[in-house]
Amino acid sequence: MLILKIVAAGPIHGYAISQRIQQISKDFFQVPQGSLYPALHRLEERGWVEADWKETATGREAKFYKLTRNGRKQLESEMEHWEQLSDAVALILSTAE
């Protein structure tokens, strides 16, 4: 979901995604950067993201990922699901006091 959310911002390549994750989570997730790629490929295989080979700003070929229509739907449903879940958790936490 995290990755989908980042990719939703527009065509972006793998390295940039990993930088974004680190940046956003403020190094909260201590994962090897490499493990991002299997996840990306899984998403691609499921048809939620698609990829294109384009030139970067520095003139190098890189694989840019962007969200597909299906991916957007998936992201929305996951967000919804997550919100419900976190609402429920917050509710339990607040009433249990």
Partner 1 sequence: MRWLRRFRERALWEKRLESELQFHLEQQKEAYVAAGLSEAEARRRAAIDFGGLELTKEECREARGMNVLEIIVQDLRFGLRMLRKNPGFAAVAVVALALGIGFTTIIFSVFYNGFLYPFPYRDAQRLSVIGIVDTGHNSERFREVYRLDEVVAFRTQNKTLEDVVAYTGWDAVYLHQGISEPLHGCVLTPNAMGFWGVPPLLGRGLDERDAEAGASPVVLISYAFWRSAFNEDKGVLGTKMILNKQAYTVVGVMPRRFGLFGADFYAPVSWSHPEPASFSVDEPWTYFFATALIRPNVSLQTASADLQVIAQRLQSGHRKDYPEHFQMTARPLNEVIVDDFKQTLLLLIAAVVLLLLISSSNVASLLLTHHSARAREIALRAALGAGRTRLIRQLLVESLLLAMAGCMLGCLLAYLGLQVIRLVPGVGVPGEADMSLNLPVLFFAVLLSLLTTLFFGLSPALLAVKKDLRTHLQTIGGGADASRSGVRIRAGLVVGQVALSMLLLVFAGLMIRSFFAVTKFDPGMSTQGLLRAVVQFPAHQYESIEKRRAFSEQVESRISTLPGVTHMAVAFGFPPLGGPRTEDITIPGKPHDKHWDTGFDLVNEGYFPTVGLRLLRGRLLSPDDVAGARRVAVVSARLVKNYLDDEDPLGRQIKFNVFDEEPSLPHDAYFQIVGVVNDLKRFDPKEPELLPQAYVPYTVFGGRDYSILVRSVANPSLLTNPLRQIVADLDPNVVVGKPSTLEDELQLHVFLKPKFRLISFGACAGIGLGLALIGLFGVMAYSVTLQTHELGVRMALGAHPSNILTFVLRKALLLIGSGILLGLLTSFFTVRILQSQLWGVSPFDPWTLILAPAALLLVGLLACYLPARRATRVDPMAALRYE
Report the chain's C-alpha Rg in angstroms.
Answer: 16
Residues 38-57 that bind partner 1 (CB under 8 A): 38-39, 41-42, 44-45, 53
Based on the shown chain and the rule CB under 8 A, indicate whether residue 11 belongs to the binding site for partner 1. Answer: no
Using a 10 angstrom Cβ sphere, with 0-12 exposed, 13-18 middle and 19 or more buried, the burial of residue 2 is middle
Among 4, 7, 18, 74, binds partner 1 (CB under 8 A): 18
Based on the shown chain and the rule CB under 8 A, indicate whether residue 59 belongs to the binding site for partner 1. Answer: no
Q: How far is the CB of 6 from partner 1 (least distance, A)?
A: 15
Question: Under the rule (CB under 8 A), what is the footprint of partner 1?
Answer: 13-15, 18, 32-35, 37-39, 41-42, 44-45, 53, 60-63
